[in-house]
Structure 1
């Protein structure tokens, strides 16, 4: 499975490996073999870069920086990343401030602004398109990152990576499923269930199971109760989050 994509959590409020800083927010590095993608930047760029250095990861190797939504705990490290890697492609959506979008145009190699429709960014790398939050109280619009990989042996791997899942994790996965015309293997990131009651948590677990998601890696804003519910429902198919955790995205039957 050495050709499988690898996702390393760089920034997380959930404690992970010893020696890494744990602050509120989320960021992950995704290495597909074709692209190196930084998903979000956490809340603090200096801490993000220190965690990358501790893990032996080079920020200048990033090809694409994908921002899920404009909350501070996901874009707080943006300046630090762009200062290190001005030659990357930056992907955000129309829900970001038009003034921020204008300012960023000269700070990266390419700037891609995604609308409401799904969009292919590179082979095997797609955006769900901008989806509205479940309610005005649930946060801003958000886009999820969809990965679609075929290994040399023909095995396929798909994943949806979420920053906070303000639209609902099941909606992001539903969009990814429709885009690829097959079930999503992995659902990863913040599931935004930290304030949810037992019935809402059970609904999300059941919805992802009904969508035939094979593996989950809930972290960041998912909350302790929801993470425990996913561990119980998915067993060994539930990967732990936390800063420094490395997740090898294996096929559902791998």
Structure 2
């Protein structure tokens, strides 16, 4: 990314290690530390830092379809991420995509989470990497045609 766009601005959670920040800055990259929710540019927002143990942020894209939320690993809890976004924007989420961090949950917990996402107004889901196979199956059953099979290289239109 840096080679293709040396003027890129990197937004990272404030709690990221200083060694990582130093490495990024060492490439001459502008670094913005994010702690609170913020607007990055027109239609693009950060949730701000979420979580207590492993802190991360999610990206929110606001376009004509509605809100698109892109998670990393959702360590703070995927329902918590959704609730944060709903609190910021007061509208349904058109697409929730990324890692949902559900790999260690049992089927009953997963069904409760899938139902909670639906009740919170998440209309489409695209879970990947750290979501877990059983969680993906349950989300596929819950969302049916509104389940998007995503992975590296997948283009969603």
TM bucket normalised to smaller: over 0.9
Count of matched residue pairs: 157
The alpha carbon displacement at 1:194 in A equals 1.2
Q: Does residue 132 in structure 1 map to residue 41 in structure 2?
A: no
- Paired with 2:131 and 2:23, the residues of 1 have a C-alpha distance of 32
* Aligned pair partner of 2:94 in 185, 188, 195: 185
Does the CA contact (< 8 Å) of 1:105 and 1:111 recur in 2? yes
Segments of structure 2 that go 5 or more residues without pairing to the other structure are: none
Q: Secondary structure at the match of 2:92?
A: coil
Counterpart residue number, 2:84: 175
What does the per-residue CA deviation read over 1:21-48, in whole Å, with 9 as the maximum and x for residues that have no partner? xxxxxxxxxxxxxxxxxxxxxxxxxxxx
Listed as ranges, the matches of 1:195-214 within 5 Å are 195-214=104-123
2:83 is the counterpart of 1:163: no
Partner in structure 2 of residue 222 of structure 1: 131
The correspondence of residues 85-124 of structure 1 with structure 2, limited to 5 A, is 85-115=5-35, 117-124=36-43
1:145 and 2:59 are equivalent in the alignment: yes
How far the C-alpha of 1:91 sits from its partner, in A, is 1.0
Cα distance in structure 1, aligned partners of 2:21 and 2:113? 33
TM-score normalised by L of structure 1: 0.59
Q: How does 1:6-21 map to 2 (within 5 A)?
A: none
Q: Secondary structure at the match of 1:205?
A: helix
| Structure 1, unpaired ranges of 5+ | 1-80, 151-155, 249-254
Whole-angstrom distance in 2 between the partners of 1:200 and 1:212: 19
Tell me if structure 2 keeps the 8 A contact 1:90–1:108: no
Q: 1:91 to 1:237 in 2, by over 3 A?
A: same
What is the root-mean-square deviation in Å for CA atoms of aligned residues? 1.5
Query: What is the TM-score when the length of structure 2 is the normalising length?
Result: 0.92
